[in-house]
Homo-oligomer: A and B are copies of this chain.
Amino acid sequence: MSWKLTAADLSDLARGATLLGTGGGGDPYIGKMLVEQVLGTGSITILDPDDLADDLFVIPTAQMGAPTVMIEKIPAGFEATLALRTLEDHLGRKADATMPIECGGINSMIPLLVAAETGLPVVDGDGMGRAFPELSMETFAVYGVHGSPLALAGERGERVIIDTGDDDRQMEWLARGITIRLGGVGHIAEYAMSGADVKRTAVPRTISMALALGRAIRLAREAHSSPFEAIAETLSTTLYSHVRELFVGKVADVERRTTDGFAKGRAVILPLDPSSDDRFEIAFQNENLIAHHNGDVVAIVPDLICVVDHETAEPITTEGLRYGQRVRVLGISTPAMMRTQAALQAFGPTAFGLTEPFMPVEGETAAAEAALEFAATARGVGVAEEAHA
């Protein structure tokens, strides 16, 4: 069912989107302020994907760049809408709605900013089901909708259109080159698709999930109950049904470098008890990619590895990691449509150069059950066969 989002929802949404950013995705705080400024006392219509007319024309919008740059280089505000308009002009067709390509981090907010500026509704879903560092890492692409043509806009009104046909990795490569030359941040419109495509290829209801997560954490704090239980309870009703505490400790070391337009690095977390030999380590490329506990893999992309404050459950981005922070690390299972062979090829461990194989954070048995359930819904192309195989 469609619903209305107002400025009062934005803080909760930002909190939930930061959690789904799994360390990256860019801090939604600046995006939230931009939306508030334009939205005022108005509201944005959020469309449930199941309600979409098959011929609805959807143009997703987003920001791209290194999160470390995004927090220093504030957008002028018009760029994402300019990207949308540029793609509309190029395609000769007006969008009926926009949508996130990424529900984690700042890209939860960019389509809302476009909606507030244009009056367009926003589809409740996205193509990453979290945050990923590259434009080709989309369930859209995995299930047959390609990113090209992509429109990219800069803060001085620069407009770029990139068309690499079905080659979404080459599209990412060229768009990244432009983004670097724009100073590290660009705004984009891409993966234009029909309502039927959305239903087939998008991870559904990730805006409402982010909002529910952020709200549950806040309400638990206000009620002096456990925000971690609130997270688990909220997720249990979604496609992200399993959450597990992977570690509790203190941030002991953070290495970060901005290379090739990405924030890459690693964080070491040691136990609160200094006499313990335990060691927990997270490697990231914008987002957290893999977590090792005493050398063993305990969670790996595309599952979510989320670092949060050990008491309040406030999510902490990789650029927010500081020496001495007391944190909990949560592992959250991703939906079955993000774990098919085709999906893992697009954004699984090997897509990031990792040699470790994917292993579901909730264990093989629970994962197999979820895959069967997913197959039964027939969402995704040719996935039913794969899950039953």
Check if A342 is an interface residue, CB within 8 A of chain B: no
Q: How far is the CA of A156 from the CA of B180 in the complex (A)?
A: 22
Q: Are A160 and B162 in contact (CB under 8 A)?
A: yes
Q: Report A175-218 residues with CB < 8 Å from chain B CB.
A: 176-178, 180-182
The contact of A160 among B157, B158, B174, B176, by CB within 8 Å, is B174
Check if A5 is an interface residue, CB within 8 A of chain B: no
Q: Are A178 and B170 in contact (CB under 8 A)?
A: no
* Chain B contacts for A325, CB-based, 8 A: none
Check if A4 is an interface residue, CB within 8 A of chain B: no
Q: How far is the CA of A158 from the CA of B157 in the complex (A)?
A: 23
What DSSP secondary structure best describes chain A's contact surface?
A: mixed
* Chain B contacts for A182, CB-based, 8 A: 174
Check if A3 is an interface residue, CB within 8 A of chain B: no
Least CB separation from A151: chain B residue: B161
**Listed residue (A159, A160, A173, A182) with the most chain B CB atoms within 10 angstroms of its CB:** A160
A 147-172 binary contact with B (CB < 8 Å = 1; else 0):
00000000011111111110100100
Q: How many Å from the CB of A331 to the closest CB on chain B?
A: 35
* Chain B contacts for A177, CB-based, 8 A: 177-178, 180-181
Check if A90 is an interface residue, CB within 8 A of chain B: yes
Q: Are A161 and B164 in contact (CB under 8 A)?
A: no
The contact of A157 among B157, B159, B165, B174, by CB within 8 Å, is B165
Q: How far is the CA of A161 from the CA of B159 in the complex (A)?
A: 8
Least CB separation from A165: chain B residue: B157
Least CB separation from A160: chain B residue: B162
Q: How many Å from the CB of A188 to the closest CB on chain B?
A: 13
Least CB separation from A92: chain B residue: B92
Q: Are B158 and A163 in contact (CB under 8 A)?
A: yes
Q: How far is the CA of A181 from the CA of B169 in the complex (A)?
A: 12
Q: How far is the CA of A178 from the CA of B164 in the complex (A)?
A: 12
The contact of A174 among B163, B164, B167, B181, by CB within 8 Å, is B181
Q: How many Å from the CB of A291 to the closest CB on chain B?
A: 32
Q: How far is the CA of A156 from the CA of B164 in the complex (A)?
A: 8
Q: How many Å from the CB of A153 to the closest CB on chain B?
A: 10
Q: How far is the CA of A156 from the CA of B163 in the complex (A)?
A: 11
Q: How far is the CA of A298 from the CA of B161 in the complex (A)?
A: 45
- A interface with B by C-beta (< 8 Å): 90, 156-165, 167, 170, 173-174, 176-178, 180-182
- Beyond A159-B162, A159-B164, list 14 extra A-B contacts (CB 8 Å): A90-B161, A157-B165, A158-B164, A158-B165, A158-B170, A158-B174, A160-B162, A160-B174, A174-B178, A174-B181, A176-B181, A177-B178, A177-B180, A178-B178
18 of the cross-chain contacts (CB-CB < 8 Å) are A156-B170, A157-B164, A158-B162, A158-B163, A158-B174, A159-B161, A159-B164, A160-B161, A160-B162, A160-B163, A161-B161, A174-B178, A174-B181, A174-B182, A176-B181, A177-B178, A177-B180, A178-B178
